[in-house]
Structure 1
Amino acid sequence: MGEVIGVEIRDLVVRRGATQILAIRELDLVVGELVALIGPSGSGKTTLLHTICGLVRPDQGHVQLIESDQRRREADLHDSALVPQAFGLVAALTVAENVELGRKLWKGGGDLRPVEEFLEVVGLDGLANRLVRELSGGQQQRVAVARALAVGPRILVADEPTSELDAGNRERVMELLLGHAKAGNLVLVAAHDQTITEYATTSLSLADGELVGVEAAG
């Protein structure tokens, strides 16, 4: 099995009951990109992220991962790391335990650098032994980002990863995500805030579950 080098989406349709909530005819994404998904609530951003990381199965069409040997396979939960809107942390565990838990659940074992390194880069050094439930919303959001980075994923998807952050920490997190993309990975970030496009190599605009615009940086 080769390394994942991209994502291919073709004739994708996702429904909730009888309602179509996502329809994308054709989209290709490659490693090395930070892709910004922009659109209002209900535009399909979260559904697209969840489909790419295997949490949602399409009703029609496919989301396939392209490997370095040009083989294609369906997206799987274990191919990506997710920073969910609700953070997805275990409140009764410490900050360090939450980051370690992400690595334990990852099939590849994750990035084996000390947990403290990931906490330091998100500005949470000194909080490794603090219970997550004792943290502010913004701190919890940064724990979720640290956990995703510690997995060392080829595909990292983040749903509103800066919504609870001040300007300084927003910049810190976006620079980290851009750095992960530049290291040869694919990063997708969904947000209402269009300022994240400043960090993106490609910006996708969604409305009513459809792709209505694609813009490359520069």
Structure 2
Amino acid sequence: MKMFRSGRKGFTLIEILVTVIVIGVLAAVVIPAVTQQAVAGDPARVVEDFNNVRGGLERFTVDLRPKFPSDIEDLMNRPNSGSTTVDASLSGVEYTTTDATNWNGPYIGKTSPEINAGSSTLPWTATGFSASITQRIFKCNSTAFNGCNATSANYIAVAASPITSAEFELVNKVIDGVETAGSGGSFATGKLRYDAASTTAYFLATPCGLGC
């Protein structure tokens, strides 16, 4: 039985060029679309993380009223009391044994390692864009914004950093319905505030009274 070989040994140059062009066109269309979709999800993720921490703050203060936590770790781990490691609330008052008993957390659904006071300002967990929610909980004055380090505060705030002014505008559009970052790149109205100097966004999570 004779075996016949095809006279065609491979693809022609034209076929290869056409294939390369088609792949290039698809890449030009698909990659930007996928990237845009990923970026579009970043503001929603930041907002979701802000709201998750806000819920934890509200549940925490119900159990330990009128105290608020000084950092995210207090929402995850029972406060220390009567030990060599000082564990204090946002107002600077050390937690008591009663506070430790009343603590009924964890109040947020992510695990967090034990940290000490020296690392309370370090990023806690990644959120949208390239930012992280910070460990530290802030006190803010909603009528006299000063970078959320107010001595006379009326709100508890959650922070995310680093956030660019363009990224802030995308998140702010979701939270406050406003895009602009305001004069000098900072923003001092609404539930979401922005400090351009530190590239930090502050979410006014919940009002506070004696706990501030």
TM-score (norm 2): 0.29
Q: Which has the larger radius of gyration?
A: 2
Q: Which has the higher strand share?
A: 1
